[in-house]
Amino acid sequence: MPKALIFIAGLLAAAASPALARPPVVVELYTAQGCAACSGANDTLAELSSDPGVLALTFPVDYWDYLGWEDTFAKPEFAARQRAYTKALALRDVFTPQVVVDGRVQTSAARPDAVEKLVAAQAKTPRDPPDMEFRHDGRVAVGSGPSPRGGGEVWLVRYDPRPQEVVVRRGENRGQTVNQKNVVREIVRLGAWAGRPRVYSVPATADDGLESVVLLQGAKGGRIMAVLPGKAD
């Protein structure tokens, strides 16, 4: 592991409470298999995914498909999520490779040093997340807490922890093998959250190989307030 990432791991460990109540730093990579600049970003995300204090997620987008290669994992809802961040963070337009950290800050994922600095900074940011848990009946319970301006949203994210290798046969990356980690396969909005305790139903999945995580964040691309990793069946 690069020294900078080892340094981040130390910061994350120091920032965590003894009860491990602190949520992991959420790193979202917006990338495309047909994006010539994205290979290094995929490597950076894969390195971060090995850090227990980081939840690293790959969101493949489809708006570069017209260049000649249709991304095999991209879904329109992933690009829609990125566009919500673009508006919330007052950016001019979407781009790849982009990293969004905790729904609060963003940078080009082609700059590993910038990504590392943002992750380290977010690891030291004070948090007071509401309680969240998977119930025995398969639903998710979210406790009470301060509601962000505009309200909150609860999202279910299902991703594949297995490394993916895709041979690109057309477009800018023709002949190259793209390596990706923690590729998101499904994202579902479970409902709104207004600061009061609420229980949410979780849709079933047919793929037992996927991992699940529930995110509580501000509406329309707001900051991520709480993270609940676990198995949602």
Complete edge-to-edge strand list for the sheet that includes strand 132-134: 132-134, 140-142, 198-200
- Residue ranges per structural domain of the chain: 3-230
- pTM here? 0.89
Q: How confident is the model at residue 20 (pLDDT cuts 50, 70, 90)?
A: very low
* 105-108 and 140-142 beta bridge pairing: unpaired
The model's pLDDT over 194-230, given as tens digits with 9 standing for 90+, comes to 999 999 999 988 788 999 999 999 999 999 999 999 7
Arithmetic mean of pLDDT over the chain:
90
Distance CA 55, CA 43 (A): 15
pLDDT value for 128: 87
Among left, alpha and beta (phi > 0; psi -120 to 50; other), residue 167 is: beta
Comparing 49 with 10, which gets the higher pLDDT? 49
The DSSP element (H or E) to which 47 belongs, if any, is helix 39-48
pLDDT of 5 higher than 90: no
Tell me the β-bridge partners of 57. Answer: 28
The model's pLDDT over 101-127, given as tens digits with 9 standing for 90+, comes to 999 999 999 999 999 999 999 999 988
Neighbours of 11 (CB within 10 A): 17
For the domain made up of 3-230, give the CATH fold. Glutaredoxin (3.40.30)
Cβ contacts of 129 within 8 Å, gap of 6 or more: 21, 22, 23, 145, 216, 225, 226, 227
CA of 129: how far to CAs of 14, 122, 144, 186, 194, in Å? 18, 14, 9, 24, 14
The model's pLDDT over 59-90, given as tens digits with 9 standing for 90+, comes to 999 999 999 999 999 999 999 999 999 999 99
pLDDT value for 208: 81
User: Using an 8 Å Cβ cutoff, are 163 and 223 in contact?
Assistant: no
pLDDT of 9 higher than 50: no
Cis? peptide before 163, omega within 30° of 0: no
pLDDT value for 21: 58
